[in-house]
Amino acid sequence: MGYRTLTVGIVGMLCLGAAAPVAEASDAVNTVTVAPQAAVAKDGTVTVSGTYRCSPDLSQGTVVSSSLTTGDETSSIGSSVPAVCDGEEHSWSSSGRPFTPVADGPVTVQASLVHLEWSSGSLIPMPDLVARGSQNTTLTAAS
């Protein structure tokens, strides 16, 4: 795994729980949603999905990160997904094994649209949480 991919994944996971300004509901340019259904494979891999839209002003360094909550446990799902920011709606999907194994049933999936700002001389990008979505979701066995 490359340094930049690892950094994006870590920063994305940190942003999911960060208390940061989030896009206003009236800011329809930057949005992220979570689908009401998700799948869990026999090996425990969970696949979640949804849609996003982001402003062309965020054209580089924007990702969708996701996590899953069951009970008191929250785990990231896969790595952050690069976003295409052109003002149009796009689909996103992420797969991964949560830290805590999950089974069929109700869960909550959170998704964040995060823009990573690389400032001059910085080795680590500064995250800007531009939109967040959450959905009570039903995990079903993947076929």
Mean pLDDT of 95-108: 88
Domain ranges of the chain: 3-141
Gyration radius of the chain's alpha carbons: 15
CATH level 2 (architecture), domain 3-141: Sandwich (2.60)
Beta partners for residue 115, in sequence order: 62, 128
Strand intervals (E) in 29-125: 31-32, 37-40, 46-53, 62-70, 73-76, 81-82, 89-96, 105-117
DSSP-assigned states of every residue in 1-12 = --HHHHHHHHHH
Q: What is the distance, to the nearest Å, from the Cα of residue 142 to the centroid of all Cα atoms in its chain?
A: 21
Coil/strand/helix, residue 107: strand
pLDDT at residue 84, rounded to an integer: 95
pLDDT at residue 28, rounded to an integer: 64
| pLDDT (tens digit per residue) in 41-79 | 999 999 999 999 999 998 788 999 999 998 888 999 988
| pLDDT (tens digit per residue) in 102-135 | 888 899 999 999 999 888 888 888 899 999 999 9
The answer on pLDDT for 25 being more than 70 is no
**Whole-angstrom Cα distance, residue 102 to residue 115?**
29
